Every structure is written in structure tokens, then in C-alpha cells.
Amino acid sequence: MGWLVNGCAVLFAPLAIAWSDHATLAWPLLRIMPETTVQESVLVETLPEFLAAESESVAALLAQHELWAQSALPHYARLPQQLVFDASLNNVALERSFLEAIRVNPERSYRPYVQHIEGSMALAPEGVISVSELTFLQGTIESSRSTYVGLSSGDRVDPAVVLATASDEPDFGMDIGLFSDNGTDLGLRYGFGPQPFGNPNLEYGSQAPFHMGFYHLDWMTQKVQPGLLATYPLYRTELYRKLAILAFQSGHDYWGWRFMGWGLHYVGDLAQPYHAVPLPGVGLLESLLTVIRGEVEQAIQLVSNRHVVLESFQYQVVRSAVAEQDWDQSTLAEIATLHEGAEWQEDTVVNRLTASSAEAADDLDAALETHAPALLVADPNFEFSGSPQEADILKVIAAHSEDATAGLTTAVDAQMARFSRFAQEWIRSILIAGETPAP
């Protein structure tokens, strides 16, 4: 069992992006949600400008958040004293101190920009920037297919577009290279220790512990693979929620929306069952039998293929429908369905969001097994990632059976409903809290 879970965690490392292109994924909701559409345009600020204006408040918030993390997160690695935010610095040094204090990768750009989404804004070609200006990642970022527009301090921008754009940023390298065995100077200084699971040698592998939340493991998995419990999504969501509220309360709305978007990314990730359960569809007894039979690698390959089939299908469905502005398409309609919902609480990630995702994991796995060709989801000798079938997944599913596209779309829609419901709770709670001036 230990071999199985550990192997699964290693293989899942390159799959630590639950949904490709979070900005486009969130747009069907953000374009119609009253809380995001009634807002006036916001004034763009650089990160150093925001930090210079609110340095003391940010320092106090980060100190409070560190105390909270130490008491609330059982597997939390404390912030090294030398990384505590220094509010006395200026400009680039102040920004660097902040980024290191929140322990994200400071080597990517945090400049103001937005992603161009069909139907969101007019595109001025002279403002287009390359994705290479925003991330150091090379071969695995789907957003290389997207268009980005640079912004400058003093510009005005639609807050819904800021929120959508920022919701994709954590996949641009923010959580890459932060562990001591990642071969980076950051990893040696940040205090997180060795990477608890995942493959540190893969480009996206080192972000897995920040983007996956295994809060509902069975007792044996916890026993033989305790590293799976050392996950940090809650650390990130609480931090960005607090920063967003501070920014709104102090009149820095651009950064309120941007911090909100950073946190929304993890809400989206954890709405995906493969980021809440290591082996969907594999029960405890089956896991033990798999080890006894020596079929660990085969089981891992099957789960990996199903994971990528799901995400490839979802990505192409959403991107195609948004490009055509087909807002009545069922997946986009599910994302855009408004819910009253509960108030976002500190325990929402663990007790409601990931609990819901974990509960849905087996049904999702069964849907993939039913509605996708056996070669893709039941052949351990086949590698789906990078295959011709991945590029043509919509045609492949349609050719499988008469009801395959409808069946798999229904399964995806169920996951999108979860994402939308919790995304709305996330957005509303921050805006409500941000309306109250800071004491």
C-alpha cells in the first residue's frame, strides 16, 4: 500500500494543475455574477506601490497569519526568522521581502497584466506581451495558447478580468521550487524541508503539495504515507483571503481583486476530485491486492490516464465554448449558475470543499471508465499524455459511443457545479469583509 500511494503521488506531480487555464474556466461565472459585474473599473497599482502604502498593515497581517498557521495546520513548517517581512525596505527590495515572506517564487514577474478572454474586453495588439514575460516555465504551461496584455500603474481595468487573470497565476510558477530538494536557493532557505510527495525533478512536480489537499485519507494511507498529509492549500487560501480583505479595506481594490484571484485558483484545484483523493476508484482492499499482485505501476498508469483524459476533455470543451461565446453550452451554464450558498469559513477547504470532491471521486472515475475508450482509461500499457488522442479528445470521445460525449460532459458539469458554488462563496465573503474598514 505504501508503494502504491507513494508511486501515485510521484506520478501525479506533473498533473498538479487541476484545470488548465483557470481564467477561461472562471469567466462564464465572473461575466454574469452580480458582485463582479456591478463594480467600477479599478486603478492599477504595482505590487511595490501597494506594499509601500500598506507596509505596516501587511507586516502585522503576515505575523498574525504565521501564528495562525502554526496553531491550525498540523504539518506546517514554520517561517524562518530571516524571511519575516521587512516593512522598512523600499521598491524592489520591499517586493522581494514580501514574496519571500509569503514563500512564493519571486523569480516570475508580478507585474500588472490581464489575460484576454473572448467577450471580456477589446484587444489592443500593441499591448500584447509574451507569456515568457510572466513565467519562467517552459514546456508544460497551457496558457502559452492564451493572449496577455500588459498594464501600467494608473491604468483602469475591469475587476472581473483582474480576478479571472489572477486565478491562473499560481500555475505560472508561484509554487515551484520551494522545497529543499528542488535544486533551488529558495528551497534551501524557505524552511519547507524536503518535498513530501511528488517528483521534484519534473517542471510542475514541486507545486503538487500546494495544489493538492488530501485531507480525507483512509487510516491506512495516513499510516504508510504520512507525507500526503503535508499539504498547503489551506495555508495559501487563508493568506490570500486575508490579503484581499486588507487591500479592499484600505482602498487598494486592484490588489483586492488580484489576491482574491490567487486564492480562487486553489478553490478551483480542490474542486477537482483527483486533487482531493490520491487514487479515485481504488478502495483500500483493492489497493492492498494491487500491491500483493505486483500491479502497482499498472494501477498508477490507469489513474494517471484517467486524470489527464478528464482535464483534456474539460479544457477543450470550455475553451471551445467560450471562444464561440456559447454561454448556453451545459458546462458554461453550470459554471454560471448562481447559488446563494453558505458563507466561506476558515474550515471550508477541509470540511466542505475537499470533502465534497472526495465524495465525488468514485462516481467520476466510473464515468470515465464508461464513457471513454478502454485504450485511454483501462490499458496500463498506454500513455495518454502527449498522445494523438489527447489533442483530438473531443473527437475520440464522440466516436466511442452515441452517448459518450453527453455522459462525460455530465460528469464534468458536476465538477464545475462544485467549483462554481464554492467560487461564489469565496468571492462574496471577501467582498463583504472588505467593505468593513480595518480597525
pLDDT at 2: 43
In a domain, 15, yes or no: no
User: Scanning the structure block, which residue is given the C-alpha cell 462544485?
Assistant: 418
pTM of the model: 0.92
Q: In this structure, what are the phi and psi dihedrals at residue 229, rounded to the nearest 5 degrees?
A: -80, -15
Asked whether residue 200 is assigned to any structural domain, the reply reads yes
Looking at residue 207, its pLDDT comes to 92
- For the segment 396-410, the average pLDDT, to the nearest whole number, is 96
Q: What is the pLDDT of residues 227-272, one digit of tens each?
A: 888 999 999 999 999 999 999 999 999 999 999 999 999 999 999 9
Q: Is 13 inside a domain boundary?
A: no
Q: Per the domain annotation, does 399 fall within a domain?
A: yes
Over residues 9-20, the mean pLDDT reads 47
For the chain, the C-alpha Rg in angstroms (whole number) is 21
The 10s digit of each residue's pLDDT in 357-374 is 999 999 999 999 999 999
Q: What is the pLDDT of residues 306-349, one digit of tens each?
A: 888 998 999 999 999 999 999 999 999 999 999 987 899 999 99
Given a cut of 60, is residue 129 above it in pLDDT? yes
* Residue 46 in grid coordinates: 504595482
Structural domain count, the chain:
1
Q: State the pLDDT at residue 201.
A: 60
Does residue 45 form part of some domain? yes
Domain assignment present for 299: yes
45-82 tens-digit pLDDT: 999 999 999 999 999 999 999 999 999 999 999 999 99
Q: What is the pLDDT of residues 270-297, one digit of tens each?
A: 999 989 988 776 666 666 555 555 556 6
Which pLDDT score is estimated for 437?
A: 62
Domain holding 196, by residue range, is 22-435
Looking at every residue in the chain, the average pLDDT score rounds to 89
Q: Is the pLDDT of residue 405 over 50?
A: yes
- Residue 60 inside a domain? The answer is yes
Please indicate, yes or no, if residue 312 is contained in any of the structural domains.
yes
pLDDT of residue 141: 53
> What are the φ/ψ torsions at residue 365 (nearest 5 degrees)?
-60, -40
